[in-house]
Amino acid sequence: MWTKNNIPNLKGKTVIVTGANAGIGYETALALYQAGADVTLACRDKNNTLKAIDQMIAIGGKGSLNFDLLNLASLDQVKSFADNFKAKNQKLDLLINNAGVMLPPPTLSDNGFELQFAVNFLGHFALTGHLFPLLEQAGKARVITLSSGAATQVDYIDFENVKLEKKYNAQREYAQSKLADLQFAYELNRRLNSLKSDVISLAAHPGVVRTDLQRHIPAAELAIAFSHFKSVSEPWQGALPSLYAATNETVKGGEYYGPDGENEYSGYPALSKQDTSATNDEHQAQQLWAFAEDVTKIKFPY
């Protein structure tokens, strides 16, 4: 049974966790801070993040905590965050692409993309690209991208419906964004392998967890939804697959971790069995990569 107590000493490691002010991101950042890492909480809400940092300091840790403003719904603001971080840091050992939005009303990002696709995938693609030089500088760095069991609910990325071109289906669009995250994590690792880079890319999913991510779901609907699951994790447990992928010495690039319980709803970290023909479709992943490069104007790795 692997828990955060198994995380090795991370003194001297530089870490970014997106969406780290609440839920799984908060627990992820806290555990890394407790293990000695220098953690930047990359979030869009300054007040809530500073409160989260105060809570973590009160709990205690061996590393350091910093806040930097990151709005993943704006590619310009993603670049501003990255430029600011690069001005202050020489390397990045660990990037955890954790932030997400789930089932919001139909909304477009600053760049005109459906919000879930923009935040969950496109913003993280751009962030990883902008920060790639620092990942390379760190040597054996890791990129962990959060996906979801919802990634298995769609068979492809519909590039003709990433700007709300079709009638909005919140669950379908969420699933598409999480399929994109998983395809991105795998394709990034393939590209890193081809370059013989020391950087590796992995994916993780938390299982079924009660967090603020579900804030757009009416309480009655949420209660019914959770009643269908035999077990539901608390955020600390939902963070374990990400933490395992980020810190365990035995992991390999291109792996996908989730909980080990029934249907991967809850439990302790293990290799996920939720891959589908779509998540493993290299042609689709290459299409997604080319699309993201065109939109963001960022080409990496190199």
Q: What is the pLDDT of residues 89-121, one digit of tens each?
A: 999 999 999 999 999 999 999 999 999 999 999
174 is catalytic: yes
Q: Of 4, 33, 74, 147, which is the active-site residue?
A: 147
CB atoms within 10 A of CB 1: 8
Q: Is 147 a catalytic residue?
A: yes
| Structural tokens at position 189 | 């690792």
pLDDT for 213: 56
Is-above-0.85 flag for pTM? yes
How far apart are the C-alpha atoms of 148 and 152, rounded to whole Å? 8
The region that residue 205 occupies, defined by phi over 0 for left and psi between -120 and 50 for alpha, beta otherwise, is beta
* Tokens at 214, concatenated: 């579900």
Fold held by 11-294: Rossmann fold (3.40.50)
Of these residues, 178, 242, 256, 265, which one is catalytic?
Answer: 178
pLDDT in tens, 36-82: 999 999 999 999 999 999 999 999 999 999 999 999 999 999 999 99
Distances in Å between the Cα of 262 and the Cα atoms of 113, 207, 243, 302 are 35, 10, 20, 40
Please check whether residue 240 is in contact with residue 269, taking contact to mean a CB–CB distance below 8 angstroms: yes
- Which among 26, 174, 256, 265 is annotated as catalytic? 174
Residue 205 to residue 228: CA distance in whole angstroms: 19
Catalytic (active site) residue 74: no
| Start-end of H helices in 92-142 | 115-116, 123-138
pLDDT tens-digit readout, 6-31: 999 999 999 999 999 999 999 999 99
DSSP collapsed to 3 states, 13-63: CEEEEECCCCHHHHHHHHHHHHCCCEEEEEECCHHHHHHHHHHHHHHCCCC
